[in-house]
Amino acid sequence: MSDIIRINNLSFRYHNKFVFEKLDLSIRDGEWLAIVGPNGSGKSTLVKIIVGLLKFDGTLIIDNMPLSTYNIPHIRKQIGVVFENADDYFIGETVADDLAFALENLAYSPNEIEHMVLDIANTFKINDILDKDPHFLSGGQKQRVALAAALVTNPKILIIDDALAMIDENEKEEILEILDKLHRDRNLTIITITHNLAETYKADRMIVINNGKLIIEGPVKAVLQEDKIFNRIGIEIPFMVDLSIKLQLYGLIDHIILDMNEMVNTLWK
């Protein structure tokens, strides 16, 4: 698989304080990568760099193009980003307007726009709220609309910057299922930025950063085993991960089990 994002020797500082020094990181085309780190570790700065909002030293290649002033418009079209405070980014008076906005800018015909809006609304199960004002929706619905708006133009990469933090667990689970399907069916590359390990379970790979340094990376379940590292940097360990690690110490299971039913069935055998 080829890399869709390649970061080499990246350094960035605000005033005199370095956030990143010679960071290397590659993300494969079609990969779901979770980037985990405590507050202040550099996660949002990295997102801003990737979408071309901050000047940096080093190389950043996205979709086979070096990020440069000249290439930013092309690269931006390949990236959808959703932030925690979706409210700040709604432009339209209705959900439908909001979804159509980016398509109008790209000069699609009214027919194509209608088709694409309905298609993404189906995917995120928001057909019944297309005529509502997005500002008055529930937190979960707002994030569905924000995700749909980020993906309506079919970008290759979706970045979720802490955007699931404020929604309830059931809603979060449903949204993650939808994203998982898009990831599989459309080969969508997803980058989840979070300090909540429970949001990483569906990712293929996790990297953990602290003070701008990559401290561990690997398949999600392998990295989740590193409870001492998470404790040290102040990342909370979800109940099922903690339970799995303890049961492994007693030899009762031999891998991380994140689903309670699966745990019960495994212990019962």
- Give the count of residues interacting with ligand ADP (CB under 6 A): 10
Using the rule CB under 6 A, which residue among 4, 7, 10, 19 binds ligand ADP? 19
40 sits near ligand ADP (criterion: CB under 6 A)? yes
Distance of CA 12 to the CA centre of its chain: 22
- Report the chain's terminal Cα–Cα distance, integer Å: 39
Is 159 an interacting residue with respect to ligand ADP (CB under 6 A)? Answer: no
Q: Both tokens of residue 231?
A: 């404790």
Note the helical H segments in 124-269: 139-151, 169-186, 220-224, 227-233, 239-249, 260-268
Is residue 37 part of the contact set for ligand ADP (CB under 6 A)? yes
CB of 99 to ligand ADP, least distance (A): 28
Q: Which is nearer to ligand ADP, 63 or 162 (CB)?
A: 162
Between residues 85 and 154, which has the closer beta carbon with respect to ligand ADP? Answer: 85
Tell the smallest beta-carbon distance from residue 191 to ligand ADP (Å): 13
Fill in the amino acid letter for 35. I
Place of tokens 């901050």: 54
For 22, half-sphere exposure in the C-beta direction (CA atoms, 13 angstrom radius) is 0
Pick 42 or 134: Cβ nearer ligand ADP: 42
* CA atoms of 263 and 253, how far apart (whole Å): 9
Nearer to ligand ADP, 47 or 129 (CB): 47
16 binds ligand ADP (CB under 6 A): no
41 lines the binding site for ligand ADP (CB under 6 A) = yes
| Residue 42 binds ligand ADP (CB under 6 A) | yes
Give the C-alpha separation, 34 to 206, whole Å: 5
To which H or E segment does residue 218 belong? strand 213-219
List interacting residues with ligand ADP (CB under 6 A): 14, 19, 37, 39-45
